[in-house]
Amino acid sequence: MYTKDEVIDFIEEEDVKFIRLAFFDLKGKQKNISIMPTELGRAFEGGIPFDASAIEGFENPQKSELYLKPDPSTLAIIPWRPATGKVVRMFCNILTPDGKPYLKDSRTILQNACQRLKDECGIEMMIGTEVEFYLFKLDENGQPTSETFDKAGYMDIAPEDHGENIRREICFTLEQMGMSPEASHHEEGPGQNEIDFHYSDALTAADNVATFKWIVNTKAASNGLYADFSPKPIAGQAGNGMHINISYRPAAGNTGKDAENLLPNILGGILKHIEEITYFLNPADNSYNRLGASKAPEYISWGKENRSTLIRVPSSTSAKRLELRSPDPLCNTYLVLSLLIEAAIDGIKNKIQPPAETVENLFDEEIAKKASLKALPKSLAEAKRLAENSDFVKKVLGDLIA
């Protein structure tokens, strides 16, 4: 966790020649501009300008100037760049010309949600993610094919699992960039992989997911492969999910929250709002081919240890966390975590209790019908209508529905 002065010293002492300033568009796609070390003081002072009209959903040409101000705590060396004349990256907040936070900046929206959770509920949300992706072979022109890197299945090992060495490279690179991967393995689909992260605060978790996807794409390309994070790359095979594990801890100086179990209220708040925020958790048409198929959740439900439900609560008495199983890796993690935090705030402040636990196997169609549970939206168009008509979404995100 670097300060501004420590970053300036680091740049001078470590022979850094390029500084990448990273930010995100509304869909969560990472963008960046590189500056020289001589511009770092200006970046910290007032920000580096960029053309906001070139970023989809930001501004029009008549009012197009925004500024990138780096967050020094996110400094990381890019380990696959040259050791001489190093390249580093920092995530940025976006500012308007008068120095105010830009209202469409995903990172700022999440920071504000985290602060409200601390101020209004006295806690900090902790997030651990499990991100899945497929590896496909490239053709002679370097274009992705439909041929997967291997034909292995869930938790298979080499030689069936061809992705073992690439996952190893990815995990080492994550560690070099200051992140803590928890586990990695082959997933159910052919050529499908998963890497899980240790818990961290929500902003760090979102930053880590963004960095992770960048590393995976880079390592796949360097091995002559294509990494696919889309929700349903192959019909009839397992889709790519991004399970989000949620727990909480008392905010600094608020030890009284240790004695309270707020998890039922957090669960109740998320279930209350899940329909109207699904558009952001599952942002592609292809997302709805995944939901309800190959063990991806379909119904608004929760259960202890039940992986057929939307939210799973571990059965261990010592575990105070829940696992949301519907999001997929194409989502804007910053906006998704913002919405989940605001749903948690609603649940805690209004003492919302979750519905009855689901004990049935909802992957059995006949059993699911008898359970009479409400289903998640069936299409992107339906999810978008729900989001557009949601006062909750408008309160959290304003007019960011694209």
Flag whether pLDDT at 24 surpasses 60: yes
- Whether 306 contacts 358, CB under 8 Å: yes
Region 377-384 average pLDDT: 98
Q: Which of 61-70, 183-192, 248-257 has the lowest mean pLDDT?
A: 248-257
Residue with tokens 């636990």: 357
| 199 phi, psi to nearest 5 deg | -65, 145
At 294, is the pLDDT very low, low, confident or very high (cuts 50, 70, 90)? confident
For residue 382, what are the CA distances in angstroms to 118, 277, 333, 366, 401? Answer: 33, 11, 21, 24, 13
CB atoms within 10 A of CB 1: 9
- Whether 12 contacts 37, CB under 8 Å: yes
Three-state DSSP at 15 gives coil
Domain 112-397 has CATH 3.30.590.10: yes
Region 165-176 average pLDDT: 95
Flag whether pLDDT at 258 surpasses 70: no
**pLDDT number for residue 25:** 95
Q: CATH code for 4-104?
A: 3.10.20.70
CB atoms within 10 A of CB 395: 10
**pLDDT number for residue 255:** 65
Flag whether pLDDT at 11 surpasses 70: yes
Any idea what DSSP says for residue 238? P
Span(s) in the chain for CATH 3.10.20.70:
4-104
Q: Which residues of 358-368 are buried (b: 16+ CB within 10 A; e: fewer)?
A: bebebbeeeeb
Span(s) in the chain for CATH 3.30.590.10:
112-397
Asked whether the whole model's pTM tops 0.75, one would answer yes
Residue 305, Ramachandran bin (φ over 0: left; ψ between -120 and 50: alpha; else beta) = left
**pLDDT number for residue 83:** 85
Any idea what DSSP says for residue 122? S
Region 353-360 average pLDDT: 95
- Whether 291 contacts 298, CB under 8 Å: yes
**pLDDT number for residue 316:** 67
Both tokens of residue 9? Answer: 């010293």
**pLDDT number for residue 129:** 97
At 401, is the pLDDT very low, low, confident or very high (cuts 50, 70, 90)? confident
Among the listed residues 271, 244, 256, 297, the one whose alpha carbon sits nearest the alpha carbon of residue 125: 244
Q: Which of 155-159, 249-253, 255-259 has the lowest mean pLDDT?
A: 255-259
**pLDDT number for residue 246:** 97
Among the listed residues 155, 396, 144, the one whose alpha carbon sits nearest the alpha carbon of residue 276: 396
H-helix or E-strand containing 133? strand 123-138
Residue with tokens 């259960």: 303
d(CA 264, CA 266): 5
Scanning 247-300, the segments in alpha helix (DSSP H) are: 263-281, 287-290
Pairing between β-strand 30-35 and β-strand 123-138 as defined by DSSP bridges:
unpaired
d(CA 92, CA 215): 18
**pLDDT number for residue 319:** 62
d(CA 246, CA 199): 9
Both tokens of residue 138? Answer: 């490239």
Q: What would the pLDDT profile of 85-109 be if each residue is shown by its tens digit?
A: 999 999 999 999 999 999 999 999 9
Pairing between β-strand 322-324 and β-strand 242-250 as defined by DSSP bridges:
antiparallel
d(CA 333, CA 65): 25
